[in-house]
Amino acid sequence: MAQTSQSEFTAHLQTLLPDGKRTALINEVLPQLLLTLPKIAQGLRSTSVTEAGSANSFGDNQLNVDVLAENILRSAIAACPSIVTASSEEDPNEKRKAESLNSNATEQYTVAFDPLDGSSIIGPNWTVGTIIGIWDGASALSTTTSTPREKQIAAILGVLGPRTSAVVAIRIPGGQSACFEVSLADNDDAISITRPSVKLFSEAGMDGEGKKKKTRYFAPANLRSAAENPQYLNLINHYITQKYTLRYSGGLVPDIFHALVKGHGVYISPVTKSSPAKLRRLYELAPIALVVECAGGVAVDSVDGGNVLDKAVRDTDERGGLVCGNREEVEVVRAKLLS
């Protein structure tokens, strides 16, 4: 793996966005947000996990590491002029920078992020992550019929484990989709391109050369709900009888990242009467969906089977379920769970 400087990373972005119209996104927004990840990772390694004694605006109890990650990202956002608005799962009120109100800048972005995904597994020192969505304009919320497919132009899936890495997805309206992986160093600003293209295989169980893969993976969230949902139980039995391999950590980021590394996998987060939707559409579902789609996969809401990116987001607390992965695997879930 050859390490690249930030200038070389910028050059890679310029090959993906060659029209010269997204200079702030290329030179400021993406690099500055990515460089928060090793800082968060270092903070996690040097901090004992405790309750912060506070709750976010949704009423969720905060950990001290939630606050740590939030503050690191907010500092980076404050230093990036083209990011004019931000909100997060810890502070879900969209706040626009005062200095941007009279700006005529051609590039203005909103960032909506989950600073630390995986609070339930961070105590045991498992891999956790950061999820960031980057949206065109001064708000990520829709007041019309515009959807995340139109407004969300990039996403970062940060993986905070033994090494610090990220999957970056970019899709500018009218342009080509791109999805690639980077590695980030702890002690400098180097950004390494580890995989220039991240792909989920177009056919379930096949590798990039069209050969049959020996292993298929499934990640079933909220497995307890199979006791009350016969369709979910039937789906789980399908995976067992077909000899799929279980890869579920309890963390959204590591489970999705596993599929992106292997090129195959399906993640299922069902919704039932006793297990309501938990994943927030703005901070988790939309960014994850963009990454999965740019990698060639599919992401749908397990409530109604609709594509995650085709439903307008009008409130920061909108929630949903999630089924995502290889297209053929998602279709199996549609047939067995959503029909």
Residue 194 CB neighbours (<10 A):
18
Q: Please give the model's pTM, rounded to 2 decimal places.
A: 0.93
Q: Check residue 23 and give its pLDDT.
A: 94
Q: What is the pLDDT of residue 132?
A: 98
Give residue 174's pLDDT: 79
pLDDT at 55: 62
Tell me, what's the pLDDT at 1? 36
Contact 333, 339 (CB under 8 A): no
List the domain boundaries for the chain: 6-195, 217-338
pLDDT for residue 2:
39
Output the pLDDT for position 46.
87
Total Cβ atoms within 10 A of residue 175 = 15
What architecture is domain 217-338?
3-Layer(aba) Sandwich (3.40)
Distance separating alpha carbons of residues 257 and 222, to the nearest angstrom: 19
Q: Per this entry, what is the length of the chain?
A: 339
Q: Give start and end residues of each alpha helix (H) in the chain.
A: 6-16, 23-24, 30-34, 36-45, 64-78, 119-122, 148-151, 230-241, 252-262, 286-294, 327-333
Q: Does residue 202 contact residue 331 with C-beta atoms inside 8 Å? A: no
Q: Could you list the pLDDT tens digit for every one of the 339 residues in the chain?
A: 334 456 778 889 999 988 888 999 999 999 999 999 999 999 999 888 787 666 666 667 678 999 999 999 999 999 999 999 999 999 999 999 988 877 777 899 999 999 999 988 988 999 999 999 999 999 999 988 899 999 999 999 999 999 999 999 999 987 889 999 999 998 788 899 999 999 998 765 555 555 666 689 999 999 999 999 999 999 999 999 999 999 999 999 999 999 999 999 999 999 988 888 999 999 999 999 999 999 999 999 999 999 999 999 999 999 999 999 999 999 999 999 987
pLDDT value of position 214: 65
The CATH number of the domain covering residues in 6-195: 3.30.540.10
Q: Where are the beta strands (DSSP E) in 74-208?
A: 83-88, 95-96, 109-117, 128-136, 152-160, 164-170, 178-184, 191-195
Report the C-alpha gap between 4 and 10 in whole angstroms: 10
